[in-house]
A = this chain, B = another copy of it.
Amino acid sequence: MTSTRRPRADARRNYERLLAEADAAFKERGVDSSLESIARRAGVAIGTLYGHFPSRRALVGALLRERNEALFELGDRLLTGSAPDDRPLARSAPGTPDDRAPAGSALAGWVRAATAHAATYSGLASLLTDGLDDEASELHDSCLRMAEIGERLVARARESGAVRPDATGADVTALTSAAAWLHEHVSPAAADRLITVTLDGLAARP
C-alpha cells in the first residue's frame, strides 16, 4: 500500500526544476554532467537533488519515462502488424510476391527508433548497456523491455525468412547500442550508415 498523498507544493516545484535543468545539462554536456551544477542551476541545495533522485540513473530514468512509453508503443505497433514501409530491410526482388518485407522493415524501423532513443543524451548508450545486466539499475526494466521487443521482432523476421536463420536478439541489441555510441562520438550519419550496412548483412541471402 504505497501512500499516495499529494506532495508539498515546493517539493513538486523543486522536482520539476531539477528535471528541467538536468535535461538541459544532459543535452549540452552529456549524461555525466556534474550533479552539483544541476542543483545549482535549479536553485536548490545538493541534498535536495539527492532527496528526489537517489542516483544519477534515477534522474536519467525519470527523464526518459515519457520517451520510453512512446518507444514501447511503437514497438507494440511494429509487432502487431502495421509496419510503415520506409527503409525496407530486404529489398524484395521486383515482382516477387513477398511477405518477408513487412517483418524486415518492422525490424529496421525498430532498430532506428531504439538507436535514436539510446542517443538522446551523449553517454546514455553506456548507461543503458550497463542497465541491461544490472538489476539494481533504475534503467534495468526499460532495458529489458527494449531487448524483449527486439528479440520478438527478429524472431518474426527470422520465421518469415527476412533475415538469416542465425540472427538473434543479441544482434539487435548490440547494433542498437553500437550505433547510438557512433551517433554520440562520431556522427549521426555514421550511425545511420552502420545500421544500413549491418541490417543488410543480417538480411537473408537469396
Contact = CB atoms under 8 A, between A and B. Distances in A.
Interface string A120-141: 0000011001100000000000
Contacts of A198: 194, 197-198, 201
Interface residues of A, number: 26
How many copies, total? Answer: 2
B202 A174 contact: no
A154 to B, nearest CB: 12
Contact of A186 (B174, B179, B193, B201): B174
Q: Is the interface of A mostly helix, strand, loop or mixed?
A: helix
Contact of A178 (B129, B171, B182): B182
A94 to B, nearest CB: 15
Contacts of A194: 174-175, 178, 198
A170 interface: yes
Contacts of A177: 182, 185-186
The 9 closest A-B pairs by CB, nearest first: A201-B201, A200-B201, A178-B178, A197-B201, A174-B190, A198-B198, A129-B185, A181-B181, A178-B182
